[in-house]
Amino acid sequence: MRRLRFALVFAVALGVFASSQGSAQPVTGPTQWLERATVDRPDDNPGFNVHVVDVLLRGNVDHRLDGGKIQRSVLAADQWIYLHSRDNQGNGLSINWDTYQGRLDVSLLRLTETQDQLFAAKGYPPDRIGQKLAQAGFNKANTVYVLVIDTGSPYVPVPYLGLADWPPTVPGFPGHVTAMEICSAACVNELSADNPEPDLVLVHEVFHALGLVPSCAAHQSNGHVTDDPKDLMFVGGYTDPSTANLDIGHDDYLYRPGCPGLESSPYVAYGAYAVLDLAADGTGSGAVRTGGGACVTGPCSFAVPRGLIVLTAIPDGDSVFKSWNGACSGSSPTCTIAVSGNISVRATFGLRTVLPKWRLKVRTAGKGGRIRVTSVKMRCVVMANGCSFPSGTRVTLKEILSKGWHFVRWSGSPGCSTKPTCVVAVTANRTVTATFAANKK
């Protein structure tokens, strides 16, 4: 099986957010992110929500992380959570991120403290920022406020640094910050990428804010697990999205009988997305796009919105698209699917037939004219050294006479003879000569 690239725009492919009852709302595309706001806008779904705040420190460069950068990374993380929390029915969990008018609501808080002042002062930084948030009107009950501190600094000890309360403060405390991420230069660069990785550092801290890992977990240690270094909640943290996982074995904080975990939190929804499993076969290769975005090697799985999605097969230069199988069918490169549950799609690509090329040389005998050579593919005026054409190309040769000369004949091309215009089907290397003669005086 050849390689497959699959592309998604996160705001489309991840574009549903769920209320605590598990209903879903579509989210508009990446060119329509909400404008930054310094107030806590009304929630689409009043209840238990997680609200992200972009925090800008005095003296730091404003990287406008709330202008789509945080949103795309959070949406990618939400998809990651869903795919890694699926149960036996194939449905997963997603966070009740705070939305406004169907779009992720990321607010902006400007601090009068510098980076050095924030981390040098006594007290817990999230608590101090939480007080400023409450003063700015961010004080909704049952809302977990999560901070992304835009430092952009190259001298933060690690690319990402997170802090969170564990055990979490009782939900409902107004304006309380329960998790924060310090975003250094490496973090800013990643969030600024066209297709950022899921922000699993932020997810790790949010999970702490939701009470994970519970004390009843088999391998719990101060809010972390100790059994698997690839676990997102492993002590010390684990942030590589390509290999990280959630509670392998389901014996700590996910679907463990008698031990309420992530699935029991009022801040998550069940079954908000559908899963698209995509694969490719055949001798060729190509991409399958739904709106453009990041490309990864298949086979692969993605959380997609319920409703209509459009897949487009784009073969590589040496390949052609053959057909769809599964939820799509036919040979048209575009497929529209009404998604109501988990689906599988397979795209078949074949190798393009490469026609051999032959060289056509055109010469003249006599100085009384020249030859214009044209084809659908190209145009040549001087062809003494020849031009290459794919096999079967039809090339038109037309004589252009000089004053006092006349055309005599073609040679080297059967069927042309004395005709002034000759059409040659290039099926082998060939030399065609046009003979001219001077007019008799």
- pLDDT tens, residue by residue, 302-337: 888 888 888 988 888 889 999 999 999 999 999 999
Residue 174: pLDDT band with limits 50, 70, 90 = very low
Query: 6 pLDDT exceeds 50?
Result: no
> What are the pLDDT digits (tens) for 399-430?
888 888 888 888 888 778 888 888 888 888 98
Tell me if 190 sits within 8 A of 196, measured CB to CB.
yes
Is 1 part of any domain? Answer: no
DSSP state of 37: B
| Cis amide linkage into residue 356, ω under 30° from 0 | no
- Cβ atoms < 10 Å from Cβ of 370: 17
Amino acid at 344: S
The more confident residue out of 413 and 250 is 250
The reply to whether 144 and 205 lie within a common domain is yes
Tell me if 236 sits within 8 A of 222, measured CB to CB.
no
Is 282 part of any domain? Answer: yes
Tokens coding 22: 């598990």
The more confident residue out of 184 and 132 is 132
The reply to whether 377 and 347 lie within a common domain is no
Is 243 part of any domain? Answer: no
The reply to whether 195 and 278 lie within a common domain is no
The reply to whether 414 and 300 lie within a common domain is no
The reply to whether 406 and 332 lie within a common domain is no
The reply to whether 325 and 197 lie within a common domain is no
Range of the domain at 311: 274-351
Q: Output the pLDDT for position 384.
A: 62
Tokens coding 398: 């037309």
Span 293-301, average pLDDT: 58
Q: Output the pLDDT for position 108.
A: 93
> What are the pLDDT digits (tens) for 384-396?
677 888 888 888 8
Is 111 part of any domain? Answer: yes
Is 372 part of any domain? Answer: yes
- Cβ atoms < 10 Å from Cβ of 175: 20
The reply to whether 105 and 58 lie within a common domain is yes
CATH at 74 = 3.40.390
Q: Output the pLDDT for position 5.
A: 30
Radius of gyration of the chain (CA): 32
**DSSP-derived pairing of the beta strands 334-339 and 300-304:** unpaired
Last residue within a domain, chosen from 240, 269, 298: 269
Q: How far apart are CA 13 and CA 221, in angstroms?
A: 36
Residue 100: pLDDT band with limits 50, 70, 90 = very high
Q: Give me the sign of the Cα torsion angle 388, 390, 391, 397.
A: negative
Strands (E), 128-169: 143-150, 160-164
The reply to whether 347 and 366 lie within a common domain is no
State how many domains the chain has. Answer: 3
Query: 175 pLDDT exceeds 70?
Result: no
Give the residue among 353, 434, 363 at the shortest CA–CA distance from 391. 353
Q: Output the pLDDT for position 238.
A: 65
The reply to whether 205 and 339 lie within a common domain is no
Is 313 part of any domain? Answer: yes
Cα distances (Å, whole numbers) of residue 208 to 150, 201, 225, 234 = 21, 11, 12, 12
Residue 69: pLDDT band with limits 50, 70, 90 = confident
Helix pair 70-84, 200-209: axis angle to 10 deg: 70
Is 366 part of any domain? Answer: yes
pTM of the model: 0.73
Give the residue among 432, 410, 417 at the shortest CA–CA distance from 361. 432
Q: How far apart are CA 163 and CA 129, in angstroms?
A: 13
Name 277's Cβ contacts closer than 8 Å, sequence gap at least 6: 299, 300, 301, 342, 343, 344, 345
The reply to whether 179 and 293 lie within a common domain is no
Tell me if 425 sits within 8 A of 438, measured CB to CB.
no
Last residue within a domain, chosen from 351, 386, 416: 351
Is 245 part of any domain? Answer: no
Q: Output the pLDDT for position 173.
A: 47
Last residue within a domain, chosen from 322, 351, 380: 351
Q: Output the pLDDT for position 82.
A: 94
The reply to whether 146 and 175 lie within a common domain is yes
The reply to whether 307 and 429 lie within a common domain is no
**DSSP-derived pairing of the beta strands 286-290 and 220-221:** unpaired
Q: Output the pLDDT for position 352.
A: 87
